[in-house]
Amino acid sequence: MPYLVAIILSIFTLTGCQSAYYSAMEKVGYHKREIMVDRVEDAKASQQEAQKEFTSALQALSNLTQFNGGELEEVYKEINEQYQESEKAAQEVRDRIAAIEDVAGALFEEWQQELSLYTSAKLRRSSEQKLKETKASYQQMLKAMKRAEQKMTPVLNTLRDNTLYLKHNLNANAVGSLKGELVSLETEIEQAIKQMKAAIAESDAFLQKLNQQ
């Protein structure tokens, strides 16, 4: 089964046809709800990775301000590498959030449509209430993720600015001028990490709600 799922995933990742992908996955017993759970877990992991990369980038710049001699080119390469890794991690977070939004739309649409198939009014009302509660929990989680995503932007902007500045000014004066940037960068990273932790907490709450359905 995992091998078959991997094949289907690779095919529809290339074609980009999500509706066909969901249909194919259901045929092998992998439903939208399970896909949703997996994608939320992936988003949590990507946010945790982004936190690590931002912290590493901050440390690299902090090390630069304590530079006492040696090859500035090597120091720049390390900082640039940390910036690139931070950018990559942030893009991963964005992609994970987009993937969650896609499957959520498909899941909730299907759930809504299937309410009309019930012959039992009691079961239909119960399912409708659960759909309403799950949507509300999802929206709360999504808002938290979006807030975290927005907080990543100033961090990346500052990292990019510092990296570009160093690229063209590899000297002691440039190092000194960046010391003042560290305070604002540290604050930006703290805010971003705080929002990502909040998003992860909301993700856990949503998963718990989903698993109770």
Report CA Rg, the chain: 22
Q: In angstroms, how far apart are the furthest CA atoms of the chain?
A: 78
Query: Average pLDDT for residues 196-205, to the nearest whole number?
Result: 96
Helix (H) or strand (E) holding 119, with range, is none
pLDDT at 70: 62
Neighbouring residues of 86: CB distance < 8 A, sequence distance ≥ 6: 50, 53, 54, 56, 57, 155, 156, 159
* Residues 104 and 137: beta-carbon distance below 8 Å: no
pLDDT in tens, 183-194: 888 899 999 999
pTM: 0.85
Closest CA to 207 of 21, 2, 31, 43: 43
pLDDT at 80: 92
Least confident of 75-79, 112-116, 171-175, 209-213: 171-175
